[in-house]
Amino acid sequence: MKFLRNKATAMPLMAITATLAFGVPQAGAQGLFDMLFGGGVRHQPQGEFPPPPKHRPKATADGGDGGAKISSPSYYTYKADKLVRVDFSTLSAAPQPATPQDAAFVPSVTGAAFHDAIAGLSDYELYAEPDIAKALIAYYSANPDFIWVSGTGPNSRAQDAVRVLGEAASYGLTPTDYTVDVPAASSSPTDDAAKLKDLVRFEMALSARVLRYAHDAQSGRVEPNRMTGYYDFPAKPLDMVGVLKTLAHTQEVRTYLESRHPQNAEYQALRVELESLQASAENEIVVDPKLLLKPGETSPELPKLLSLIARNLDDEMGGTYGEVLSRLATSEVYVPELVPLIKAVQQKEGMKGDGVIGPRTVALLAGTSKADRLLKVQVALEELRWLPSDLGSPRVFINQPAFTASYIDNGEEKLKTRAVVGRVTNQTAFFYDQIKQVDFHPYWGVPQSIIVNEMLPRLRGDPGYLDRAGYEVTDSRGKRIPSSAVDWGAYGSNIPYSVRQQPSEANALGELKILFPNKHAIYMHDTPQKSFFKQDMRALSHGCVRLQDPRGMAAAVLGTSVDYIAEKLKHGHSTEDVTRKIPVYVAYFTAWPDMSGKVEYFSDVYDRDSRLKQALDATEAVRSPSS
């Protein structure tokens, strides 16, 4: 979508795009308003979006009583590409090589012997991904000689490659995806037909698995955009023929293959956490992570939680609650006497302390199981491969499961603020882009779906309502016209007018927004609905990212001070371009390291980890020998 600056049509177009991307929930108008762009003030005297009438107006010929409903992006059952049998028939026609092209290239056996051995591939069933199969034929047609064999067996280059492939688990990859049967070296002549047949088959198999490894390390094992419409990542092309050329002319095989992985501190911290988890024992007390227990209810999981509380009780808490905890340590009934204890534990850890034992309280007290943490880390490693290897500095990083947004510069987290992201029915997408602009006192362009589905029923009986409520109406030429002058009853789902809310304290976007134009029409913004930031679970919006400290973030991306932002806000609506290159990651990681490298774990609010696990399992099933 072409980015528009200072145009009356900019916000309506962006908002319409948001509706097309995320759909309109079946809710009252105020609830829809709240969910979509930060929520209006529930008791605002001007501009409060009224509830729709209880009666449904008579439908027009084109469905004008509500128009077509636009659904949110979908989740898909992931289907991995099937492997293909490599067709080696064209290799026999390849010309015999002359002398080695590079002094660093040490031929394994004579090129003529390799050429003669190609005939032994006619009945060889090697299966690989289509692009890998194509690359093998392309490379060896132009370079009919060994990379991995010297003399009568695998060379040092091959030994290094096999070791790297065997260590795939340390990166959260599956070693069996890269397994190659290594032939033993022998003293038989290099022109022995049977031996050459084995060597050339080994050559092709190792090249195929090395290419798979290089691809997986750089881009991940699954294609994220094929899992759900909520993922949006550009392709990360890999010149596979170029990979084989590089490996044929270097002895630094390990260095090269390891360089295909993301080269950032976050990836390394997750690898360290993975290694620690693989070596650790399971928690001795495992509590159901989905437990939901309210006062008066019963659960066999309660004594486990009480045991964990007792084990970590400090002197202050022990003096207040020690007796109650000791007396009721085995209780499966969440009796009233235990509620103050649970509230105190929650409040001590920064939660609001409502006394309800839910997944966040369980995670706080019991942590997550080893199996769950392993999955989260493996998923995080896979997701990091979808992002650029160098995340950039400065950058903005939004982690949806953590409900936070950070500004990071030169390895330092200079700002971290609470955030509200899309609710489960209106999820925030996972993508990255570049910050372009800050809007002060922005307009809110009302999506056509809200105009049709929510506003139109009232406008038919009260055409001047928008004029009184602080909205502007413009026709297709951008000319502003009074709402009362429109015959709203003449239109159904195709309304040739745009509606936008003027800047005000009641504006759904608050006092500013931070734009990084994208097809999802997602951006960061202020909100008049400050109470949401007090909640622990903040998946509450219609998809955009609301910030608790929008002024701080605006100052950070503009490279200025909060005082400057405050001064700009005194002068009404304006915009300012971000002149530096600042990538923004609207990310989704349930395991993520803080700036010290300590990995923190978060709830999978959108259930995306399990969907990625399904995609990984589907990929592994296709790659298994039995397939």
Residue 94 banded pLDDT, cuts 50, 70, 90? low
The chain-wide mean pLDDT, for the chain, equals: 83
| 182-209 pLDDT per residue, tens | 987 665 554 577 788 889 999 999 999 9
Query: In the beta sheet, which residues pair with residue 438?
Result: 514, 576
Domains of the chain, earliest start first: 84-262 (no CATH), 302-366 (no CATH), 391-443+503-592 (2.40.440.10)
Query: In the beta sheet, which residues pair with residue 56?
Result: none
Q: In the chain, what is the straight-line distance between the N-terminal and C-terminal CA atoms, in Å?
A: 42
d(CA 464, CA 478): 19
Does residue 249 have a pLDDT over 60? Answer: yes
Per-residue model confidence (pLDDT) at position 223: 97
Does residue 44 have a pLDDT over 90? Answer: no
Per-residue model confidence (pLDDT) at position 12: 39
For residues 369 and 65, the model is more confident at 369
**What H or E segment, with its residue span, contains residue 162?**
helix 156-166
d(CA 474, CA 13): 13
| 426-474 pLDDT per residue, tens | 899 999 999 999 999 999 877 776 788 778 888 988 999 898 888 999 9
Q: Cβ atoms within 10 A of the Cβ of 83, count? A: 18
3-state secondary structure of 72: coil
Q: Cβ atoms within 10 A of the Cβ of 477, count? A: 6
Q: Cβ atoms within 10 A of the Cβ of 130, count? A: 12
3-state secondary structure of 154: strand
Share of the chain above pLDDT 70, in %: 83
DSSP string covering 227-257, please?
A: TBTTEE-------HHHHHHHHHT-S-HHHHH
Per-residue model confidence (pLDDT) at position 566: 97
Q: Which long-range contacts (CB under 8 A, 24 or more apart) does 251-256 make?
A: 251/104, 251/156, 251/157, 253/157, 253/160, 253/161, 253/164, 254/160, 254/163, 254/164
Mean pLDDT, rounded, for 4-9:
38
At position 130, the amino acid (one-letter code) is P
d(CA 443, CA 451): 16
Share of the chain above pLDDT 90, in %: 57
Residue 26 banded pLDDT, cuts 50, 70, 90? very low
Per-residue model confidence (pLDDT) at position 107: 42
d(CA 93, CA 142): 11
Give backbone dihedrals phi and psi of 407, rounded to 5 degrees, phi first: -110, 120
Per-residue model confidence (pLDDT) at position 410: 94
Query: In the beta sheet, which residues pair with residue 446?
Result: 499
Give me the residue label for tokens 């690898």.
271
